[in-house]
Amino acid sequence: MEPAQFNWDTSTLEKTDDPLCIYLREMGMVPLLTGEGEVGIAKRLEHGRLGVLKALLRSPLVIRRILIISNDLKRGICSVKEIVVLAEDAITEKILQHCVDDITHRIDDLQKHYKRPTYWPNAWEP
């Protein structure tokens, strides 16, 4: 069987209504992303992620929930595995306890920096 013969005449591509040809022609007009462009996008993504994190951590509702989680961890009501994503390999009870201690210590430090708002009684005490 003889291979199909294609007409590569550019005038045919300009007149076609074939969606695939139109798509490929349009994609050929878009410049590819450079290494500098990738770095720029990554920086903007990271900046946005940090902005969202800051906004969340300024919310009294989020802070209250973090304090509740800390108390639940201290009392053994929930596991650190429910709170933090950990690599599954080589996790021992000692490592898990260290994670609990570290997280609760950090949350205790966080609690020291926030005053209880007068408009929301018991906001910082779960």
Its domain, for residue 99, covers: 60-126
For residue 111, what are its two tokens?
């609690």
* Integer Rg of the chain from CA: 28
Contact yes or no for 89/29 (Cβ under 8 A): no
Note the pLDDT of residue 5.
Answer: 58
pTM: 0.51
Of 22, 40, 58, the last residue of a domain is 58
Note the pLDDT of residue 28.
Answer: 85
Note the pLDDT of residue 1.
Answer: 47
Same domain for 99 and 44, yes or no, is no
Note the pLDDT of residue 40.
Answer: 94
How distant, in Å, are the alpha carbons of 60, 62, 114 from that of 100? 23, 19, 21
In a domain, 111, yes or no: yes
Same domain for 64 and 125, yes or no, is yes
Instruction: Please count the other Cβ atoms lying within 10 Å of the Cβ belonging to residue 25.
Output: 14
Residue stretches of the chain with pLDDT short of 70:
1-14, 89-90, 114-126
Note the pLDDT of residue 37.
Answer: 92
Note the pLDDT of residue 24.
Answer: 87
Same domain for 45 and 85, yes or no, is no
Contact yes or no for 80/99 (Cβ under 8 A): yes
